[in-house]
């Protein structure tokens, strides 16, 4: 996908306050047509025109995959973020016209698995909601372990309990609950795959615990979208486009290229998918690699950059774009 | 040929249990692994289950493997006779069990297929090729499988067609592909060459 990629024109059908931090948004197509199908774990990029600043943020779809009448996302408000979630929470009202990208799945269920063990932290619950709906209609085995701060902020805990009963295991931080991960992993039947979505610390804890317990890499799946970090403004030269652009403090390099009408590829906009990988022609300075995509060697070589989340500090950065 | 399997070298990995399936010279890959494990060998053996069968060339190092003293050692006359045991072990196992396969391609491919059917990705299995290079070949015409193929071309043991043995490999069938070599000029069959020993 890129700036010129096709989008779906949608109307906001519903905005629901799930709890003091999370709102749910439902989008239907403005032309009345059915939405494209998606698979559990897919996300969409939502385009926002925040008073002249163009924002494109990825959000996991949480509706039922077969339901082509619309898409639902849940957004946690981040008061210290760059503003995308605040815009959705404060500016987006039912009836508004918006643009979204086509669904992309970087966190799909591995259909080879005999059982799916899901671990969610906080707003990381959203991809699992669509995955569980998909498994229910296809007849797959699953269990979900869902950790939340407290009962008030536990989004969808009652709904999920009502739908899936004892396949849902809840953990409330402020009541001292903690997932006994060693025990949980040791008891899983052969052929189980593990999925984790949540805060960075939770993902690395689950990944390293599974690795030490002998779970093969191909059986452990995770998804974490990074928000592009804020930083010092910097200047970048784009060799192919013959342009010099300045990336603002709260702007990502990808957004700055798009603002300059440079057709840069992207999918997830969160450092996970690899689509925006760009060759570095010259680097006099230091690239702040913030992505999950490049290998440590690639990062050290300073020959590649992921413009969606990475920044630069120094005198000259020339990109092959 | 992208589908041609690539084999590695068995290395001990952390896990709740260790399942070894080997034939013929594959026994020596297991013996080498425990040699490499050094001080950890005894704790590894306490959680190890070895299923072994002689190779297609008759090599039988069963006595040396049994002498390792693994928690469980089972000798079978063939893979076909070991398979129900392997499937039962996988059905009862938990995640954390490490799988190690060693010996001929036919044995490793068939055991790997059972592990994949149990839900693991194929790359989750460690393999080490030792001993005979004879192939398990599927005739793409009659679908029959001929074991222990030494020459190329071969005569299909089911339908009798002369088959060119390709490097094209199927993980689902655990077999190389055999394609009729004289389809266009019936009777023009090149002399068989011993390619696999």
Residue A59, in any domain of the structure: yes
CA distance A212 to A209: 5
Q: According to the 3-state scheme, what is the secondary structure of chain A?
A: CECCCCCEEEEEEEEEECCCCEEEEEEEECCCCCCCCCCCCEEEEEEEEECCEEEEEEEECCCCCCCCCCEEEEEECCCCCCCHHHHHHHHCCCCCEEEECCCEECCCCCCCCCEEEEEEEHHHHHHHHHHHHHHHHHCCCEEEEEEECCCCCCCCHHHHHHHHHHHEEEEEHHHCCCCCHHHHHHCCECCEEEEEECCHHHHHHHHHHHHHCCCCHHHEEEECCCCCCCCCCEEEEECCCCEEEEECCCCCHHHHHHHCCCCCECCCCCCCCCCCCEEEEEEEEEEECCCCCCCHHHHHHCCEECCCCCEEEEEEEEECC
| B125 and B140 share one domain | no
pLDDT of residue A21: 94
pLDDT of residue A249: 87
CB contact (8 A) between residue A187 and residue B94: yes
Domain at A44, CATH number: 2.40.30.10
Q: Which of B132, B167, B151 is nearest to B57 (CA)?
A: B132
CB contact (8 A) between residue B94 and residue A217: no
ipTM value: 0.90
| A153 and A201 share one domain | yes
Chain B: residue whose CA lies nearest to A115: B119
Tell me the residues of B at the A interface, defined by beta carbons under 8 Å apart: 13-16, 90-98, 116, 118-121, 123-124
| Min Cα–Cα distance to chain B from A10, Å | 39
Residue A2, in any domain of the structure: no
| A121 and A212 share one domain | yes
Residue whose structure tokens are 């960075």? A200
Under 8 Å between Cβ of B119 and A193 = yes
Residue A228, in any domain of the structure: no
| Min Cα–Cα distance to chain A from B56, Å | 30
Residue A229, in any domain of the structure: no
Of A194, A212, A218, the CB nearest to B14: A212
Model-level pTM? Answer: 0.89
Contacts B98 to A, Cβ<8 Å: 214
CA distance A182 to A200: 19
| B157 and B99 share one domain | no
Of B13, B119, B124, the CB nearest to A114: B119
Chain A: residue whose CA lies nearest to B117: A112
Domain final residue, candidates A204, A223, A242: A223
Chain A: residue whose CA lies nearest to B115: A191
CB contact (8 A) between residue A185 and residue B123: no
Q: Which of A160, A163, A209 is nearest to A184 (CA)?
A: A209
| Interface probe, candidates B95, B99, B125, chain A, greatest A C-beta count within 10 A | B95
pLDDT of residue A226: 78
| Total count of domains within chain B | 2
Residue B67, in any domain of the structure: yes
Measure CA of the first residue to CA of the last residue in chain B; give whole Å: 21
CB contact (8 A) between residue A185 and residue B96: yes
Residue A114 — φ and ψ, nearest 5°?
Answer: -85, -25
Of A185, A188, A214, the CB nearest to B98: A214
| A122 and A195 share one domain | yes
β-bridge pairing B151-152 and A234-238? unpaired
Q: Which residues span the domain enclosing A167?
A: 115-223
| B105 and B189 share one domain | no
Of A187, A212, A218, the CB nearest to B124: A218
Q: Which residues span the domain enclosing B190?
A: 135-194
- pLDDT per residue, tens digit, chain A (321 aa), is 666 678 999 999 999 999 999 999 999 999 999 999 999 999 999 999 888 888 888 999 999 999 999 999 999 999 887 888 999 999 999 999 999 999 999 999 999 999 999 999 999 999 999 999 999 999 899 999 999 999 999 999 999 999 999 999 999 999 999 999 999 999 999 999 999 999 989 999 999 999 999 999 999 999 887 778 888 999 999 999 999 999 988 889 999 998 899 989 998 888 888 999 999 999 999 999 999 899 999 999 999 999 999 999 999 999 999
Under 8 Å between Cβ of A36 and A103 = yes
| B106 and B160 share one domain | no
Q: What is the pLDDT of residues B39-96, one digit of tens each?
A: 999 999 999 999 999 999 999 999 999 999 999 999 999 999 999 999 999 999 999 9
| Interface probe, candidates A113, A214, A215, A218, chain B, greatest B C-beta count within 10 A | A214
Domain final residue, candidates B98, B129, B160: B129
Residue B9, in any domain of the structure: no
| B95 and B116 share one domain | yes
| A244 and A279 share one domain | yes
| Total count of domains within chain A | 3
Chain B: residue whose CA lies nearest to A117: B95
Domain at A167, CATH number: 3.40.50.80
| Min Cα–Cα distance to chain B from A106, Å | 18
Measure Cα distances from A222 to A199, A204, A237 in Å.
Answer: 11, 9, 34
Rg (CA), chain A: 20
Residue A131, in any domain of the structure: yes
Of A115, A191, A214, the CB nearest to B13: A214
CB contact (8 A) between residue B96 and residue A186: yes
CB contact (8 A) between residue A190 and residue B98: no
| B41 and B83 share one domain | yes
Domain final residue, candidates B105, B129, B153: B129
Concatenated DSSP letters of chain B: -TTS-----------SEEEEEEETTHHHHHHHHHHHHGGGHHHHHTTEEEEEE--TT----HHHHHTT--SEEEE-SSHHHHHHHHHHHHHH-BTTEEEEEEE-HHHHHHHHHHHHHTT--GGGSEEEE-S---EEEEETTT--EEEEE-EESEE-TTT--EEEEEEEEETTTTEEEEEESSSSSTT--PPPEE---
pLDDT of residue A4: 63
| Min Cα–Cα distance to chain B from A217, Å | 7
| Min Cα–Cα distance to chain B from A125, Å | 24
- Averaged pLDDT in 10-residue chunks for chain B of 197 residues: 92 96 97 94 96 95 96 96 97 97 96 96 95 95 95 94 95 95 90 90
| B116 and B158 share one domain | no
| A20 and A56 share one domain | yes
| A240 and A314 share one domain | yes
């Amino acid at each position: 996908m890129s700036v010129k990629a096709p989008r779906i024109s949608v109307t906001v059908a519903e905005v629901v306050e799930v709890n003091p931090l999370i709102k749910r948004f439902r989008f239907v197509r403005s032309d009345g047509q059915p939405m494209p199908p998606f698979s559990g774990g897919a996300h969409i990029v939502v385009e926002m025109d925040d008073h002249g600043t163009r924002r494109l943020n990825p959000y996991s779809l949480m509706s039922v995959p077969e339901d082509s009448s619309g898409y639902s996302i849940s957004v946690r408000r981040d008061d210290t973020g760059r503003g995308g979630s605040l815009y959705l929470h404060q500016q987006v009202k039912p009836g508004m016209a918006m643009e979204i990208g086509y669904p992309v799945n970087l966190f799909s269920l591995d259909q080879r698995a005999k059982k799916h063990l899901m671990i969610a932290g906080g707003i990381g619950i959203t991809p699992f909601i669509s995955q569980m709906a998909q498994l229910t209609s296809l007849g797959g085995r699953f269990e979900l372990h869902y950790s939340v701060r407290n009962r008030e902020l536990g989004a969808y805990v009652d709904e999920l309990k009502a739908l899936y009963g004892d396949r849902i295991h809840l953990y409330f931080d402020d009541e001292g609950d903690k997932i006994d991960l060693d025990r949980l992993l040791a008891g899983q039947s052969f052929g189980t795959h593990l999925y984790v979505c949540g805060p960075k610390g939770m993902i690395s804890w689950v990944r390293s615990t599974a690795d030490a317990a002998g779970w093969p890499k191909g059986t452990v799946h995770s998804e974490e979208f990074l928000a592009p970090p804020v930083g010092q403004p910097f200047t970048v030269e784009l060799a192919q486009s013959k342009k010099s652009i300045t990336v603002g403090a709260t702007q990502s390099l990808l957004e700055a290229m798009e603002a300059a009408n440079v057709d840069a590829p992207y999918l997830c906009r969160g450092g996970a998918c690899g689509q925006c990988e760009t060759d570095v022609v010259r680097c006099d300075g230091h690239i702040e690699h913030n992505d999950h995509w490049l290998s440590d060697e690639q990062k050290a070589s300073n020959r590649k950059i992921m413009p969606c989340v990475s920044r630069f500090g120094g005198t000259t950065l020339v990109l092959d774009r | 040929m992208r589908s041609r399997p690539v084999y590695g070298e068995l290395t001990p990995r952390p896990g709740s249990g260790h399942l070894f399936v080997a034939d013929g010279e594959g026994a020596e890959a297991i013996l080498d692994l425990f040699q490499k494990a050094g001080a950890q060998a005894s704790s590894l053996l306490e959680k190890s289950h070895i299923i072994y069968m002689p190779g297609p060339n008759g090599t039988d190092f069963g006595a040396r493997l049994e002498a390792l003293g693994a928690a469980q050692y089972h000798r079978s006359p063939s893979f076909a006779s070991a398979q129900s045991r392997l499937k039962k072990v996988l059905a009862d196992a938990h995640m954390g069990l490490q799988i190690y396969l060693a010996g001929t391609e036919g044995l490793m491919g068939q055991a790997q297929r059972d592990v994949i059917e149990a839900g693991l990705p194929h790359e989750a299995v460690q393999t080490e090729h030792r001993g005979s290079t004879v192939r398990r070949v599927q005739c793409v015409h009659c679908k029959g499988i001929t074991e222990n193929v030494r020459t190329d071309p071969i005569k299909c043991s089911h339908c009798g067609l002369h088959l060119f043995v390709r490097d094209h490999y199927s993980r689902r069938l655990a077999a190389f592909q055999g394609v009729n070599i004289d389809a266009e000029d019936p009777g023009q069959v090149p002399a068989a060459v011993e390619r696999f020993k």
